[in-house]
Structures are given as C-alpha cells and as structure tokens.
Amino acid sequence: MKSPTAQPYSTLFTNLIQKKDLMPLSTGTPDETIVNVLKKTIYEQVFGFIKVSDKTAARLCLAGLWLLYDHLDECHKIAQSIETKEGSYWHAIMHRREEDFSNSKYWFRQVGDHPIFSVLFEKLKKLSASSVQEQSTTFLREQKRWDPFAFVDLCESAVNTHTPLENLCRQIQQVEWQLLFDYCYNKAVGRQ
C-alpha cells in the first residue's frame, strides 16, 4: 500500500503498512506476529528520524496500525481515549468492522465533516466506476460527496458475502484507512 504523503515514512512504518491483503469488513483474525512490535513500540521509534510535533496524532497512527492488523480492541483503547475528529473516526471504523453498525454511525456523527472526505470521494468515484455494476452500488456513483453513513449501510449488507460488493467495500475501506492514516501522520509530524 503506497502512501501519498510528501515525505517518506520511517522504515518501520513503511514495513508495517505494506500489508498485501485488504482488511476484512468484519473483525478478521488478529495478526499475532505484530503484537510484540506494536506493544514495545513508542511513537518516537515508529516515526524514526522524523520529529513528532503532535503526540496525540502519533498515538492515532498506532491505533490505525492496530486496526490494520485486525487488533480491534487495541485500536479501540487508543481511539476512545482521544476526543478529536480523528479519534472518533478510528473509533467509527473499528465499530463498523466489529459489525456494531449503529455505534459506528454514532462515532461518525462525532466526526462530522472531515478533511479526507473530499479525497476519499474522488477515489470512491474511480473505484465504483470500475466495479461491477450492482443495484446496491448505484448510490455510490450518484453521490455528490462522501457519505460515511451510507458506506456503513453498504458494508453491513456486504459483510462476509464473498461477492464483488464485499470486495469493493474492502477496497474503499482500505483507501479510507490510508487517507486517515496519512492525515494523522502528517498532523503528527507538523504537516497538517
């Protein structure tokens, strides 16, 4: 997964986010090989040579990494302790993945409008245009802006179906993860 950030990640970050598989829409199976790395890692180590100017945003990067590796509880502990739009956003994604869809929507209401929505919307348009034309995805092509609530509903209908719809939702979710991670990363290093 390539990052669109202007500056490269630290080597450790680069290695951690080069996950090949798309995250599942559901809880998935926690990757135990990452536990020791993330538990022993403090954000200064993860950021390597890059100075951390926003420690809260740096902690949210770690929440994102836990989520990427299907450790929803660890992501939840961090996200719920940080009362920012980004903390609420990670919290919302985590609840969506644990299939607590109403709780996910609650946290998306706390997020409100987020700066990544416009970029996510543009990427969604490209993904949905090239996807299988299903009745359930028509609204994606007709949207005028990103609607996280509609996406929660779509994920709910696609979870564990093993259909093109599930794959499309997983692709969108991965783009969403990358954009939010990059936003938090840029904020952590003083570029936001």
- Is 157 among the domain residues? yes
Contacts within 8 Å (CB) and 24+ apart, 59-65: 60/84, 60/86, 60/87, 60/90, 60/184, 60/188, 61/13, 61/181, 61/184, 61/185, 61/188, 62/38, 63/87, 63/90, 64/90, 64/177, 64/180, 64/181, 64/184, 65/16, 65/17, 65/34, 65/38
Query: Could you give the CA distance from residue 143 to residue 150 in angstroms, rounded to a whole number?
Result: 10
- Is 1 among the domain residues? no
Walk along the chain (192 residues) and give the pLDDT tens digit of each residue.
444 444 467 777 788 888 668 999 999 999 998 888 887 666 566 676 778 889 999 999 999 999 999 999 999 999 999 999 999 999 999 999 999 999 999 999 999 999 999 999 998 888 877 666 666 666 677 778 999 999 999 999 999 888 888 988 999 999 999 999 999 999 998 887
| Full domain range(s) for residue 134 | 11-188
- Is 5 among the domain residues? no
Under DSSP, the state recorded for 158 is H
Three-state secondary structure call for residue 104: helix
- Is 116 among the domain residues? yes
Query: Could you give the CA distance from residue 15 to residue 116 in angstroms, rounded to a whole number?
Result: 24
- Is 86 among the domain residues? yes
- Is 57 among the domain residues? yes
**pTM, to two decimals:** 0.90
**Number of domains, the chain:** 1
